[in-house]
Amino acid sequence: MSFFDRLFSPKQNDSVQDTSVLRKEDIYYPEEYTPQAADVKHIELTEKEAVRLGWSFRKKSKHIRITNYHGSETEVTVPAMIGGRRVNELGIGCFQKTSVTSVEMPDTIAKIGSDLFNRSTISRIVFSDSIRVIPAGLCQNSFLLEEVHLPILLSVIGDGAFTACRNLNHIELPNHITFHHSGKEIFYQSGIESFSFNAKEYFKYYSDYLTLRDGSWFQSTPMRSKYKLVALPVEEPDTICVLMVGIRANVKFPKGSSVVMCRNSVNNDCMLDFSDCSSVSFKSNVYMDDLYDCQTYVWGYSRGYSCNAVINRNQEQLSFPDFVHVKYPDGSVRDNTLKFDRCEDRSVLLVRSVNNTIMPLGLHTGAKSIKLIAGETDNRFILNRFAIDEKNLKCIELGKFDGTDEIFSPSCHELQDVCGYMVGGCRIYHIEKHIPPSSLIGKGYRGRILHRELMKAFKDVYGDFYQQSVIDDIFCKGYVKGRYETVRLNQRDKILIAIDILRGDEIPGRNEKRTLYENYLNGHRRYAQIVCRDIYSDYPEYGDFIATYFSSDDSQ
């Protein structure tokens, strides 16, 4: 007997049914499938034949990029070779203003441009199995799209790639999509009623970075109104892994079950009763973006959403944002563990831990500057892995805290300034450190990968929130390894990192390698001045530091 048969069958025989008690039919589990390679005809054309058939293209040294299609065929197979050159790319909006209904791509295609099928008449797409990235908004508002074959080796899907594809009812997902690189709301307002994936391979690579951990993918699809929960199959016994909570769901989880709430799994009015659970785990950003606006509820701009949670006395370590109303089974209400407020100039968001309990994973407030403080100045609060997850966050100030891992999510790629409190002897030191944002040290993924690796210096290790040795290692090696690529530091990157190290406060009692960065700036003085001059309008702090730093050397 399965876990759910064993848990639910006694309740179904009761004469009086509690509508909040979870039943087997209230939960949707994805179907199992094994990805198969696409069988696409290999077509070779001469340049004249390609032009006659309606293909516009641009020749490179060894490859061909198709820029447009203006032929008369509605069912199209992209040629693999044109004029002896390999066709490896489809340009931006290639099929956007055509009457094409079906497109098949050979395995020579490795890159596709954005808006390829945006607002098109496409109904069937067979993607090349060599494609690893599907750009944002690729098929947005393609209302007739019904059938999609995704690449087997696909790793990244951009924001809203299949938004409003109303006739797309089912999707088969590959095994290696990573959610921290992929976008949000990928199938938003689409007709998705079911999906499938290879659970066996999913378990093989099981981690927080894999696909199927982000409920925003299926936001505003029929599944949210049809089921109370959309869940993922997991190997752990008696475990319910919640990918998405249904509209206005009233759910009481089975007694003895372990519940895992995935990223962006809650975004509407709901009641979640965890009081009979043996354990509850929250992944980063449990609450979706449109619910984050409800955090302005404490400032008087509530959109009217709320989430109610019932817990038992043994689950008091769980922490919820202010808009989540927490109750005990006896009806008594627990004080909110988090309070949100603004400074007088409304430039800094204050997050106060009332009960000094665990800060929520993936704290997302929409603020560019955040100050975290404990309920009482003498107490410490706890931060979990990826506790801070805010794309546009530029500055954060931490009170005394405990933690065991990286506290910043990789998506915090604009973070520049971090303040913390260090205890030395009987004194408490206020320490300020800096880090160049991703927009300064590279474009797109390059900057984000480098910024993410530099941010690993900001973690709690044996009571210290900052480990400069992490940055020292990156600076000396001159490169960092991302998941799929290696990013090398150029002179500009090193200059910016060196400036941030030198303008940060020194931690009393620490032996930090500041001479390493002083020597680098002194050896690249002229270029450092050029770099700081170019970015002065947006980042004057770098130019001001360089002017002071070299003027002090000249005076000596």
* pLDDT one-digit tens code per residue, 454-465: 998 987 765 678
Helix axis angle for 514-523 and 540-555, nearest 10°, is 90
Summarize the confidence of residues 158-167 as an average pLDDT: 91
Summarize the confidence of residues 274-286 as an average pLDDT: 79
CA-nearest of 31, 326, 38 to 169 is 31
Geometric angle at alpha carbon 95, from 93 and 101, rounded to 5°? 150
The residue with greater pLDDT, 292 or 276, is 276
Positive or negative: CA dihedral 341, 352, 467, 179: negative
Helix axis angle for 514-523 and 491-503, nearest 10°, is 130
The residue with greater pLDDT, 135 or 286, is 135
> What is the rounded distance in angstroms from the CA atom of residue 368 to the CA atom of residue 527?
30
pLDDT band at 285; cut points 50, 70, 90: low
User: What pLDDT is recorded for position 352?
Assistant: 76
Q: Radius of gyration of the chain from Cα atoms?
A: 27
CB 69 within 8 A of CB 95: yes
Of 94-103, 122-131, 222-231, 272-281, the poorest mean pLDDT is in 272-281
The residue with greater pLDDT, 512 or 299, is 512
User: What pLDDT is recorded for position 107?
Assistant: 93
| Predicted confidence (pLDDT) at residue 290 exceeds the cutoff of 60 | no
3-state secondary structure of 340: strand
User: What pLDDT is recorded for position 10?
Assistant: 47
Query: How large a percentage of the chain has pLDDT more than 90?
Result: 40
Query: How large a percentage of the chain has pLDDT more than 70?
Result: 82
User: What pLDDT is recorded for position 3?
Assistant: 47
| Predicted confidence (pLDDT) at residue 291 exceeds the cutoff of 50 | no
CA-nearest of 518, 547, 516 to 531 is 547
Geometric angle at alpha carbon 439, from 477 and 349, rounded to 5°? 110
10-46 residue pLDDT tens = 444 444 456 677 888 899 999 888 888 889 999 999 9
Geometric angle at alpha carbon 72, from 52 and 136, rounded to 5°? 100
Structure tokens at 270: 């709901």
| Predicted confidence (pLDDT) at residue 482 exceeds the cutoff of 80 | no
Which range among 231-235, 346-350, 413-417 has the greatest average pLDDT?
413-417
Which range among 11-15, 322-326, 394-398 has the greatest average pLDDT?
394-398
Q: State the greatest distance between any 2 C-alpha atoms of the chain, in Å, as a whole number.
A: 90
User: What pLDDT is recorded for position 298?
Assistant: 26
Backbone angles phi, psi at 521, to 5 degrees: -65, -40
> What is the rounded distance in angstroms from the CA atom of residue 181 to the CA atom of residue 483?
10
CA 51 to each of CA 54, 108, 405: distance values in angstroms, whole numbers, following the listed order: 5, 19, 57
| Predicted confidence (pLDDT) at residue 256 exceeds the cutoff of 50 | yes
Q: What is the mean pLDDT of the chain?
A: 82
| Predicted confidence (pLDDT) at residue 309 exceeds the cutoff of 50 | yes
User: What pLDDT is recorded for position 473?
Assistant: 95
User: What pLDDT is recorded for position 358?
Assistant: 67
Structure tokens at 501: 């190290």
Of 73-87, 194-208, 392-406, the poorest mean pLDDT is in 194-208
Please name the residue that has the structure tokens 């079906």.
Answer: 102
3-state secondary structure of 310: strand
DSSP string of 53-72, one letter each residue: TTEEEEE-SSEEEEEEE--S
Which range among 18-22, 211-215, 500-504 has the greatest average pLDDT?
500-504
User: What pLDDT is recorded for position 413?
Assistant: 87
User: What pLDDT is recorded for position 103?
Assistant: 96
3-state secondary structure of 300: coil
61-99 residue pLDDT tens = 889 999 999 999 999 999 999 999 999 999 998 998 889
Distance of CA 92 to the CA centre of its chain: 25
Which range among 149-163, 307-321, 366-380, 413-427 has the greatest average pLDDT?
149-163
Which range among 196-200, 377-381, 542-546 has the greatest average pLDDT?
542-546
> What is the rounded distance in angstroms from the CA atom of residue 277 to the CA atom of residue 254?
7
CB 334 within 8 A of CB 323: no
Structure tokens at 205: 């690579």
